[in-house]
Amino acid sequence: MQRTDYLTNARLLIQNHAEVVILAAQMSPLKNVTVVGASGTLGMPLVKALQEAGFHVTALSRAGSPSTPPAGVVVKKVDYASPEALREALAGQDALVSAIATTATGEQYPFIDAAIAAGVSRIIPSEFGINTRTVSHPGLKAMLYSKIKLVDYLQEKSTENPGLTWTGISNSFFFDTIKKGTGFGFDLKTKTATIVDSGDEPFDLATLDFVVKAVVAVLSSPEKTANQYITVSGTVTTQNQLLEIIREETGGDWNVEKVASAKYEEVGNEKLSKGDYSCFGDFLHVLLFADGAGQAFHHPANDLLGLERQDARATLKALLAGGSL
């Protein structure tokens, strides 16, 4: 086959794929989607993916916010303390996706009330981490209190208002965190790996690209996930598997330190007792990496949403090279 034929075929494939994706959004009863926190780490790629899927996207931002919203999106800067202003901003919207900052997850109640008043039919709250419905670690439960209570409220309100449905999405860690240089026990600068217990405990990761695909899939077929808290899994891996790939990709020697999960528990509790919320990271090491933690998602909603798992090696290589999959 000539090179030009390959290019033509590739263009056709891309075009067909785009048409299929747009068709999925066109077939959804949800057309107008408001994103809270659109300028954030998750919000930015989320807006792009929703637009590419054919949704009409509006970004809701705090009045006076210094953030720069993504290009090409309608922006409504609103005083979140004003129920009328919020209701007005949500009039005509079919869905509300919150990608608000972790520290502001307790401030999502007014969005739910305004969404009910405006007739919004689906809310996706700002979860996007570990499963807050099943988390039992006392320290993490305390840290995730505002997320847990918010989903309780959403559940209660959707029962009272059948027109309102919700979907909670848990995706474990963002794989992209590795790009910051210190994710999952790997310090890329000092080439030091901190392995918890044996390092063989399986856990889930998902790239931001994967997480936003999950949101698009939920909004494209909302009936499949109405009033459910779902888990999606990009990839299942272990610290030792990541270490092997990172060693291959970065070359050179890595210092490997072994730390018992009990140590993280002890340090986390000590920090928590002093009001030092960096204990979250210590507790996460216990929750996900400790031998026997059992946190890998066994029945993720991937099939339901048509999401394929990501290959750990290819994804990590792409992330280390500055991209994503």
Ligand X SMILES: NC(=O)c1ccc[n+]([C@@H]2O[C@H](COP(=O)([O-])OP(=O)(O)OC[C@H]3O[C@@H](n4cnc5c(N)ncnc54)[C@H](OP(=O)(O)O)[C@@H]3O)[C@@H](O)[C@H]2O)c1
Q: Radius of gyration over alpha carbons of the chain, in Å?
A: 21
CB nearer ligand X, residue 61 or residue 194: 61
Q: Which residue has the tokens 């637009």?
A: 51
CB half-sphere exposure, 19, CA atoms < 13 A: 6
- Which tokens sit at 83? 């129920």
CB nearer ligand X, residue 54 or residue 210: 210
CB nearer ligand X, residue 21 or residue 101: 101
Residue 273's CB is within 10 A of a number of other CB atoms, namely 9
Distance from C-alpha of 204 to C-alpha of 153, rounded to nearest angstrom: 27
SS3 content of the chain, % helix, strand, coil (to 5): 50, 15, 35
Distance from C-alpha of 162 to C-alpha of 205, rounded to nearest angstrom: 34
- Which tokens sit at 64? 């006076």
Closest CB 295 distance from ligand X, rounded Å: 13
Q: Please give the residue ranges that form the binding site for ligand X (CB under 6 A).
A: 37, 39-43, 61-62, 65, 67, 99-102, 104-105, 107, 126-129, 171, 173-174, 177
Tell me whether residue 320 is exposed, middle or buried, using C-beta atoms within 10 angstroms of its C-beta: 0 to 12, 13 to 18, 19 or more.
Answer: middle
Closest CB 281 distance from ligand X, rounded Å: 11
CB nearer ligand X, residue 22 or residue 109: 109
Closest CB 109 distance from ligand X, rounded Å: 12
Distance from C-alpha of 285 to C-alpha of 257, rounded to nearest angstrom: 14
Distance from C-alpha of 46 to C-alpha of 213, rounded to nearest angstrom: 8
CB nearer ligand X, residue 100 or residue 188: 100
CB nearer ligand X, residue 104 or residue 296: 104
Closest CB 70 distance from ligand X, rounded Å: 10
CB nearer ligand X, residue 161 or residue 182: 182
Q: Is residue 218 within 8 Å of 211, Cβ to Cβ?
A: no
- Nearest residue (beta carbon) to ligand X: 40
- For residue 100, what are the CA distances in angstroms to 39, 92, 227, 228, 321? 9, 21, 20, 20, 28
Chain centre distance of CA 202: 19
Closest CB 207 distance from ligand X, rounded Å: 10
Closest CB 13 distance from ligand X, rounded Å: 31
Closest CB 28 distance from ligand X, rounded Å: 23
